[in-house]
Structure 1
Amino acid sequence: MSLNEVWEAASATPFIPIVAKDRQFSVGFNLLLLALITGTFFALNRSFFSVISLGLPAALASGLHHKMEPLFAGVSNNAHHLYTLLSCIGFAHKATVQITPDGLRFSVEEGRVIQGLAFLDKSLFTSYTFNPSTDSGFNNLNATPQDDNESSQNGAYPHFVVSLSAVLETLKIFGINELSESNRPRDTSITHSGIASSSAFNAPALLMDRSCILQYAQHGAPLSITITEAGVKTTCELVTYEPDEDEADIPLQRDAIIMKIIMRSAWLHNAIAELDSSTPTILKLSACAKREPYFALSGAGGPFSESTVEFSVDQHNEIAGGAAHGTTQSQMHKVLFDDGSSRARATRAKLAPTVTETFLVSPPSSMGERIQQSYRFALIHKAARAMSVANKVSIRGDRQGVLSLQFMVELDDHNVPAGRPVGAGVKGPNGPVCFVDFRFVPLLDEEEAEMEMDAGVE
């Protein structure tokens, strides 16, 4: 049979492939893809069932985790503001932190006789995000975010305990400590109103380029602090703890305030520093609106003589009694002058100018016309840091003898002396205004007598 005959015979039965010509490319591509997937499963030693049963839930959980927003996140362009406020209550190692829509509330206490409260207002942060619906695993706590804005509605806000010492060390992790005016004694700066010199190489200028990010993801998560400076980023994750169930604030009866005195914090700081030189164990507070001494602080119980610093509410100098009263070794009266110094005087002189902006004393009839309370001097001295950086202090006391020292701290970015007076409001001419509050439990008569006897024996 010739080739032509074979060709004609084959044309009667044409060849039809299994895969149509127009589908051969797609079929080949699918087979190649299947080979790659099968080879991958074989290399990972995983079956197809295990990949679906384990990989798919993991992928979904990962997607949900990335979509979940943190419970709290805050960004501050000035980490030193946070450090300044928290260092005022740095006498304790641990602090209870409460997150509120208005800011962060840090609370420390020692022996249930002293409590320090520092409120980081949301105005200190360039970005402040609070998502209370993210986590619901918090217990109620009858606490308030700020002393002057107490409300029982804040009890449901999340709270936890964190190491305050670790927080302070983290905020100054790059080695830049405090501002120059914070290190300067207050008695040398209260009379200056000019702006201190500043350069590109001093601590305030270096602190301007430091940012701080605080983040708390959920209940039980660590507190994350990220510090960024000059392109260097450091992240610290601090372990958080559950607060004690019986933890509560030292109560201050606002409807039973019998004493309210507002003055420059520098005067109080200088007075405590003067009394500290005699190493007392007891601080006696005396206030009267009708006769001298109008407001006096005395240090007693120490190994040395008892000393007293007297304040006045009059606007002119006046010698009380017209005659000099002799001083003894056991009683020394000191008077504060305009330059911040104190000098011993045989006569009690009133201050010029006035050192108190507000002086309200209204004791109950059972106390007489004078308010007298005693406190542990060592506890009052723990507020010295707040006294040194604050502008003003509000001294309040209730009928139970609880003492409240509320300090107004004006934060500044330009190294302006902290003693510059500011008006009322949450923001002064140089920066935001924040508050730090200390509360002290008074000494009972038996405790005071016991401490004086112990000091006499020593």
Structure 2
Amino acid sequence: MASNAPLFSAVSSSARQLLLLLRCIAFTKKALVRISADGLRFSTEEGSTMESFIFLEKALFTSYTYNPPPPPSSQDDPPAPPTFEINLTSLLETLNIFSLSDPNSAKRPGGYDDFAAHRLNRHAGINAFSNRTLGVTGVCTFSYDGPGTPLSIHMSEAGVTTTCDLTTYEADNAEEIPFHRDDLALKTIMRASSLLDAITELSSMTPASIAIHASPTSSSSSRGNPNANLSLSATGALGSATVDFTTSTSSDTPVLETFHCAGRIRSNYRFAALKAAQRAMAAATKVSVRVDGEGVLSLQFLVEVEGVGSMGGGGGGGALPVAFVDFRVVPLVEGEGEGEGEGSGTERE
């Protein structure tokens, strides 16, 4: 490796697409970045109750180069992948520099108008990641020389170039929220748009918490449709509402594509935590909803990414490359769910 070669460099053919992906986890100002030979991992967290992360695999980039420093000697283990914090707000503003004419770019992340516009585009047959809705792409080059150096971003489009150096900070040794994949109380795969519609509907109640009810038989909801296998309910200052889903349907495209629930469960979560995932719901086609034995909620969104990368990661048959956006939410404990008439916490039968 040449002495002046950066530790990491990558080129994206569409900065706007990366912007839309990173906005899915932009509920805090800072993000943790981890660079590896396989791609970039961005993560955000709010205290120890909610976290999100997205992995941008190298196939999503036109080119991707990772030159880790060699170990001091052949007897030493390879150095750990570089990890640092950056200001996520500044990164998004940088990636957005060539799309200031986009009316949605001036709105705060998570605004209702963004999702309303997305649903209109969906019904019009326009993919959220289609260039028809974006109007701009832009070529973006990332580079990072090593600890203590900035993350440099060089963008160019139509003869206009911009270079930004984002300060990097030493990363905290925060632990991820544990999620037990081998002890699942609930697992279902559903259309992300259906989950978005449910959260939007429940938002009108201005609730503090949301309850997830699930049952292997069609009697999961203690209030509402007795035929539901999965129910989301919320109570707020303006009243209460319940959204039900069932596996019993004659539709060729059921909302719940798969459903597994060993016994009746009910878990409560901060409503703001699920609302923070609305951008991911709007961008994704499917979502995997899982609850482990401790009540930790995992939402994994599958996002089809159009117009990004050319390194062969899209698979055969013309399939679009995909990215996964993950959220993990800790359940409320007894007494935390203000406004929830049935109490809080996690129940499992």
Q: TM (normalized to structure 1)?
A: 0.63
Indicate the residue corresponding to 1:442 in structure 2.
Answer: 331
Correspondence for 1:90: 26
Given candidates 236, 248, 260, the residue that maps to 1:360 is: 260
Q: Distance in 2 between matches of 1:284 and 1:155?
A: 44
Q: Post-superposition shift, 1:278? A: 1.0
Deviation at 1:430, TM superposition (A): 5.6
Superposition pairs for residues 163-178 of structure 1, below 5 Å? 163-174=87-98, 175-177=100-102
**Cα distance change on mapping 1:296 and 1:370 into 2, 3 Å:** same
Q: What is the CA deviation profile of residues 38-64 of structure 1, one whole-angstrom value per residue up to 9, with x for unaligned ones? A: xxxxxxxxxxxxxxxxxxxxxxxxxx9
Q: Classify the secondary structure of the residue corresponding to 2:170.
A: coil
1:296 equivalenced with 2:231 (yes/no): yes
What is the correspondence of 1:22-421 to structure 2 with a 5 Å cutoff?
67-133=3-69, 156-174=80-98, 175-177=100-102, 185-190=117-122, 193=125, 204-207=134-137, 210-245=138-173, 247-292=174-219, 293-300=228-235, 302-316=236-250, 354-362=254-262, 369-413=263-307
Asked if the contact 2:191/2:285 (under 8 Å) is kept, the reply is yes
CA pair 432-165 structure 1, distance change in 2 beyond 3 A: same
The DSSP-based 3-state class of the residue aligned with 1:306 is strand
Structure-2 separation of matches of 1:389 and 1:236? 27
Return the structure number with greater relative CO, CA threshold 8 A, min gap 6.
Answer: 2
What is the CA deviation profile of residues 212-231 of structure 1, one whole-angstrom value per residue up to 9, with x for unaligned ones?
A: 00000111100001111111
CA distance in 2, matches of 1:356, 1:388: 17
Task: For 2:19, give the aligned amino acid.
Answer: Y
Q: Distance in 2 between matches of 1:205 and 1:222?
A: 30
8 Å contact from structure 2 (residues 213, 231) kept in 1: yes
1:212/1:228 contact within 8 Å kept: yes
- State the shift of 1:157 in Å: 1.2
Aligned-partner Cα distance in 2 for 1:98–1:195 = 29
Match of 2:134, as an amino acid?
Answer: P
The 1:445/1:92 distance shift into structure 2, 3 A limit, reads: same
SS in structure 2 at match of 1:253: coil
Shift of 1:270: 0.2
TM-superposed deviation, 1:311? 0.7
Cα–Cα, structure 1 residues 400 and 134, in superposed 2: closer, same or farther, change >3 Å? same
User: Contact 1:375–1:442 at 8 Å: present in 2 too?
Assistant: yes
Amino acid at match of 1:83: L
Deviations 1:422-454 (A, max 9, x none): xxx767846311000000000012222x5548x
2:22 is paired with a residue of what secondary structure? helix
Question: Cα gap change, 1:428/1:193 in structure 2, threshold over 3 Å: closer, same or farther?
Answer: farther
Paired amino acid for 1:446? G
1:160/1:242 contact within 8 Å kept: yes
**Separation in 1, partners of 2:91, 2:317:** 27
Query: 1:293-329: per-residue Cα shift (whole Å, max 9, x none)?
Result: 21000012x112110000111123xxxxxxxxxxxxx
Contact 1:134–1:218 (CA under 8 A) maintained in structure 2: no
Structure 1: runs of 5 or more not aligned = 1-63, 137-152, 317-350, 363-368, 415-424, 454-458
Looking at structure 1, the residues matched to 254 and 123 of structure 2 have their Cα atoms a distance apart, in angstroms, of: 14
What is the identity, as a one-letter code, of the residue corresponding to 1:222? P
Q: 1:100 to 1:426 in 2, by over 3 A?
A: farther
CA deviations over 1:334-360 (Å, ceiling 9, x no partner):
xxxxxxxxxxxxxxxxx8852111111
How far off its partner does 1:275 sit? Answer: 0.4
Query: d(CA) in 1 for partners of 2:233 and 2:299?
Result: 17
Give how far 1:184 is off.
5.3
**How far apart are residue 203 of structure 1 and its match?**
5.5
Please state which structure has a larger fraction of its residues in strand: 2
Cα distance in 1 between the residues matched to 2:278 and 2:124: 21
Counterpart CA distance in 2 for 1:401 and 1:288 is 15
Shift of 1:117: 0.4
Amino acid at match of 1:123: A
Identity, % of aligned positions: 43
CA distance in 2 between counterparts of 1:215 and 1:82 reads 15
Aligned partner of residue 75 in structure 1, secondary structure: strand
CA distance in 2, matches of 1:388, 1:236: 29
CA apart distance, 1:413: 3.2
1:163-192 deviations in Å (ceiling 9; x for gaps):
000000000112254899976545445555
* CA shift in 2, pair 1:167/1:154, >3 Å: farther
> Are the equivalent residues in 1 in contact too, given 2:285–2:303 (CA < 8 A)?
yes
Contact 2:296–2:330 under 8 Å retained in 1: yes
Aligned residues of 2:218 and 2:246 also touching (Cα < 8 A): no
Larger Rg belongs to? 1
Higher helix share: 1
Mapped to 1, the partners of 2:103 and 2:159 lie a distance apart of 21
- Matched residues in 1 for 2:288 and 2:191: separation? 9
Cα distance change of structure 1 residues 187 and 211 upon mapping to structure 2, 3 Å threshold: closer
